[in-house]
Chains A and B, each alone.
Chain A
Amino acid sequence: MPIAGVVILTREEMTSQVLNQLQNVENVTTYGVHKNNNIVAVFEGQTPKELERINDKLINEVPGILGIYPAYVNYEDVEEQND
């Protein structure tokens, strides 16, 4: 079950608009805007296919995104566990 931590680089003047839009996209969790125009986000899906769909959808449908850069991708099976 894949999870990807990504940095989304935005046009600076459109960053808050992008953030607002991302907050409504299913399976995307945002972790704030950093250093002016970098949004940290996590993409998650039931299958690996969904990660790509999210990436594609954002690039094509959210104006103001300059690039999406995965920094971490995990494919191991996700199980519940005690911490």
Chain B
Amino acid sequence: MTVSRREFLKTSAAATAAASIGVNLLPGMKNNLFAGQVEWHKSVCRYCGTGCGVMVGTKDGKVVAVKGDKENTINRGHLCVKAFYLPKAVNSKTRLKHAMIKKNGKFEKVTVDEALDFVAKKFNEIRQKHGANALAFYGSGQAETEETYMANKLWKGCIGTNNMEGNPRLCMASAVGGYLTSLGADEPAGTYQDIEQAKFFMLIGSNTAEAHPILFERIMRHKTKNPDVQILIIDPRKTPTDQVADLHLFPKPGYDLAILHAMAKIIIDEGYADEEFIKTSVIFKDNKNKIDYAGYKEFLKKYTPEYASQRSGVPAEDIIKAARMFGKAETAMSLWTMGINQRTRGVWANNLITNLHLLTGKIGKPGCDSFSLTGQPNACGGVREGGGLCHLLPGHRLVVKEKHRQQVAKVWGVPVERIQPKPGKHTVAMFEALNKGEIKGIYIMCTNPAQSLPNASKYWKGLEEQFVVVAESFFPTATTKYADVVLPSAFWTEKEGVYGCTERRSQYMPKVKDPEGDAVWDAFLLRDLGKKMGFVKEFEKYQTAQDIWDEYRGLTKGQDMDLWGATYDRLKKVRGLTWPVPSEDHPGTYKRYTDGDPIYDALPAEKKKGRRMYFYGPKAKDGYATIWARPDKGPEEPTDAEYPLALSTGRVMEHWHTGTMTMTAPELNRAVPKAYVEINPSDAKKMGINNKDQVVVETRRGSLEIEARVIDRPIPGTIFIPWHWEKWMANILTIDAFDPGSKEPEYKVCAARIKKA
């Protein structure tokens, strides 16, 4: 019989889709219709922090297909529209295939070896002449853990500077600060497994439908099956996430802290607090000092629903409704992302969300958690856990702690004095130092700061003037323009390594094809640079990815994020492991701080007596979590007569971050072909602006000519611009004021005005 191969592929595609929901479309036929056609490899999606499992199909050394990994508990065979384009990104025309050095303003092709020789010579010159702190590294939550680990060792352990940062500073540093100060240790207590057990969701500062579509699918399916599940949304903008909302509060951007305090007050006043849990597991603090429960209640007195309404613009009765939904629900899960983190009081906002869970005891139980969602696929694994920020060392360690420096120096084989005891410069300070010429050389890996920094154009000067090395898979980007040297990096599927996603799950990704052109794995670029800079003994031992992972794994042994039991051998077989996973026979941990957490289980009985949770970690004392009485500060730059609109920026579903990976797929570019500014119809009418008019958006930092989209998504008085485009760069408008605790900038709110172009 002759059938067209197209028909065969169609049937196969339909059967795979059906299988992903547990339906056998072709009874009697064995599952693997693809046998002999395509070779499949278990991997992880390259794009967002959800961490979906992807099966990568190769044929003749090329990536030709992807499937959702049905065995993966995160996505159970489904993907979102971004993963649709994964194979295209690998084979994109804009892949960088060779190294280049800029000579007389023009890039000239060189070998990778020549480029690394040149970088090593320049970096050594800078180090000798100006000291180690004149060098810096800027990495990424998209890099693998092994890659960040090598950079950490080269900069902090060998060169001897803590000027080592990564872009997670810009998206989730406030969540780190929030977890540390509320629960004692970074990262969530629960996992995604809580979604299907929650009776109530508070989605705050998160457009889950567009930014984390697969988690949103899980929430939708759960609600469809259980119509009594309730969903509260707190967000200044109407988004596709609204399709599941039972109640949506629309606060003025930056004014939601008062709402969270008012909800806490109602929860206590109306008897929804878990007094027993509060007694056994919680202490209270105002901004500086320990207070008692009565002091906290006194602090909350001011936060009546009416006061919160006046601050936020949300009707008081809706705030009461929201608090009752939270209070009455048997179980509750809060999910948030950049709308909370990217604020000058992002840590406080994180604290106030967790306050509600601690007050009601809705934490440490199935279906209950205060759960921060991550934007990038390995921001948690590589940067938070791997220690890729200026104050951290691998394994949730801190540079300021002598013991931590000693432990790491011993494993790295470097003198302990080489690791400075003082944190280096955080991201904004680092690029400021580059502008001032205090930092004279920077290595940028797998990220695009010329576009993604807030108030971006301010920092182009430093990039222009200092020695800049960019290791990238794509060319050109906004940042490679400023590079003196570009190094071609192997991309997803061309290297092996580990990604750690939002739910503390570390997953292995295999190398399934050779890198394009001369591209080299970033970890080996760094290793070879280290050797060429003179650190031969320190780097020659790393011959494989597993060598690096095993050393790192050893450094996590006994830490709160213990990955000792997550060997490559295991990770190659399972769909990731959620730490702590202290031994090779440990299955991984669902809930921290409670029964089943190996660290909790190992505590002496007297510590656990009468307590279902015991909070531990660098900031926890005597097992208590902290409820915070933080002031309700508004945004850094409130609107005024001159700049009367609040500008917010964010993602749209089809694109991801600065677009280096998604814009390379022409289809994605067409789906949302150019940037736009969303304006509420009532504001547009007042200003005489029609849909598709060209307008100029101005802030105190810059202006942008852009198309108007008149739509009722933003509330009156606010506007929204997606930030993915280099040509219409929203970040020349945003403010670079940052949270004093987390140093995360306030991308989410600044004052703006609009006029017709």
Which A residues fall within an 8 A CB radius of B? 1, 3-7, 9, 12, 29, 31-32, 34-35, 37-38, 40-42, 44, 48-49, 51-53, 55-56, 66-76, 78-83
Chain B residues lying within 8 Å of A51, measured Cβ to Cβ, are 84, 667
Shortest CB distance A40–B (Å): 5
Partner of B20, one of A4, A41, A71: A71
- Provide a sorted-by-A list of 14 A–B residue pairs whose CB atoms are within 8 angstroms: A1-B6, A5-B13, A35-B22, A38-B23, A40-B25, A48-B85, A70-B81, A71-B67, A72-B65, A74-B12, A74-B65, A75-B88, A76-B59, A78-B9
Which residue in chain A gives the minimum CB-CB distance to B37?
A76
Q: Which residues of B contact A56 (CB under 8 A)?
A: 671
Which residues B212-264 have CB closer than 8 A to chain A?
Answer: 213-214, 216-217, 220-221, 224, 243
Assuming the contacts A71-B78, A73-B65, A83-B3, asked whether A5 and B667 have C-beta atoms less than 8 A apart, the reply is no
Shortest CB-to-CB span from B70 to chain A, Å, is: 8
**B419 → A minimal CB distance (Å):** 46
**Chain B neighbourhood of A1, CB < 8 A:** 6
CA distance A69 to B83 in the complex (A): 10
With both beta carbons as reference points, the residue of chain B lying nearest to A1 in the complex is identified as B6
Find out whether the CB atom of B14 lies under 8 angstroms from the CB atom of A68.
Answer: no
Q: Give the residues in chain B near A6, CB-CB below 8 Å.
A: 17
Is chain A's interface secondary structure helix, strand, loop, or mixed overall? Answer: strand
Given the complex, which residues of A lie within 8 Å of B15, measured CB to CB? 5
Across-interface contacts of B213 in A (CB, < 8 A): 67, 69
CB <8 Å contact, B64 and A7: no
B1 at the interface (CB under 8 A from A): yes
Contact A5 B12 (CB under 8 A): yes
CA distance A75 to B90 in the complex (A): 12
The answer to whether A73 and B220 touch across the interface, beta carbons within 8 angstroms, is no
Q: Are A67 and B216 also in contact (CB < 8 A) when A6-B17, A31-B14 are?
A: yes
* Shortest Cβ distance from A79 into B: residue: B5
Q: Give the residue name and chain of the A residue nearest to B653 (CB).
A: A59
B10 interface hit (Cβ, 8 Å): yes
Contact A70 B6 (CB under 8 A): no
Is there a chain A Cβ closer than 8 Å to B670's Cβ? Answer: yes
Q: Given the complex, which residues of B lie within 8 Å of A78, measured CB to CB?
A: 5-6, 9
Q: With a CB–CB cut-off of 8 A, which chain B residues contact A81?
A: 4-5, 8
Q: A38 near B671 (CB under 8 angstroms)?
A: no
Q: Is B68 among interface residues, defined by CB-CB distance under 8 A?
A: yes
The CA-CA distance from A19 to B275 in the complex, in Å, is 51
B57 near A: Cβ within 8 Å? yes
Q: Is the CB of A67 within 8 A of B57?
A: no
Residues of B whose CB lies within 8 Å of any CB of A are 1-6, 8-10, 12-23, 25, 38, 57, 59, 64-68, 77-81, 83-88, 209, 213-214, 216-217, 220-221, 224, 243, 654, 665-668, 670-671
The answer to whether B12 touches A72 (Cβ under 8 A) is yes
**What is the distance, in angstroms, from A10's C-beta to the closest C-beta of chain B?**
10
Known: A3-B9, A7-B17. A73 touches B84 (CB 8 A): yes
Closest 10 CB pairs of A and B: A5-B13, A5-B17, A69-B78, A72-B16, A52-B667, A76-B64, A71-B17, A71-B20, A74-B65, A31-B14
Contacts of B13 in A (CB 8 A): 3-5, 42, 71-72, 74
Distance from B94 Cβ to chain A, minimum over Cβ atoms (Å): 16
Beyond known contacts A5-B16, A48-B667: 9 more, CB 8 A cutoff: A7-B21, A29-B14, A37-B224, A40-B17, A40-B21, A71-B19, A72-B17, A72-B67, A83-B3
A contact residues around B20 at 8 Å (CB): 7, 69, 71
Report whether B79 and A69 are in contact in the complex, using a CB–CB cutoff of 8 Å. yes
In the complex, the answer to whether B65 meets A31 with C-beta atoms within 8 Å is no
Find out whether the CB atom of B57 lies under 8 angstroms from the CB atom of A74.
Answer: yes
Knowing A38-B21, A52-B671, A66-B243, the reply to whether A73 touches B12 (Cβ < 8 A) is no
A83 touches B2 (CB 8 A): yes
When A3-B9, A4-B84 are in contact, do A40 and B671 touch as well, CB less than 8 Å? no
Complex-state Cα separation, A1 to B20, whole angstroms: 23
Q: How far, in whole Å, are A67 and B64 apart by their CA atoms in the complex?
A: 25
Cβ–Cβ < 8 Å partners of B84 in chain A: 4, 51-52, 55, 70, 73
Chain A residues with Cβ below 8 Å from B209 are 67
Nearest chain A CB to B448's CB is how many angstroms away? 23
Closest A residue by C-beta to B25:
A31
Docked CA distance A35–B87 (Å) = 30
Residues of A within 8 A of B81 (CB): 52, 55, 68, 70
Q: Are B1 and A9 touching (Cβ within 8 A)?
A: no
Bound-complex Cα distance A1 to B9 (A): 11
Identify which of B1, B64, B79 contacts A70 (C-beta below 8 A): B79
Q: Nearest Cβ distance between residue A51 and chain B, in whole angstroms?
A: 7
Question: B57 contacts which chain A residues (CB < 8 A)?
Answer: 74
With a CB–CB cut-off of 8 A, which chain B residues contact A35?
21-23
**CB pair A76 B17 closer than 8 Å:** no
Instruction: Choose one: B9, B10, B22, B80; the contact of A69 (CB below 8 Å).
Output: B80
In-complex Cβ contact of B14 among A42, A55, A76 (8 A): A42
- Check B21 against A74 for contact (C-beta < 8 Å): no
Give the distance to chain B from A15, nearest Cβ to Cβ, in Å: 11
Min distance, Cβ B691 to any Cβ of chain A, angstroms: 15
For residue A74, which residues in chain B have a CB less than 8 angstroms away from its CB? Answer: 9, 12-13, 38, 57, 64-65
Contact present for B18 and A34 (CB under 8 Å):
yes
Assuming A29-B10, A80-B4, is B22 touching A75 (CB within 8 A)? Answer: no
Decide if A70 touches B217 in the complex (CB within 8 Å).
no
Bound-complex Cα distance A42 to B666 (A) = 21
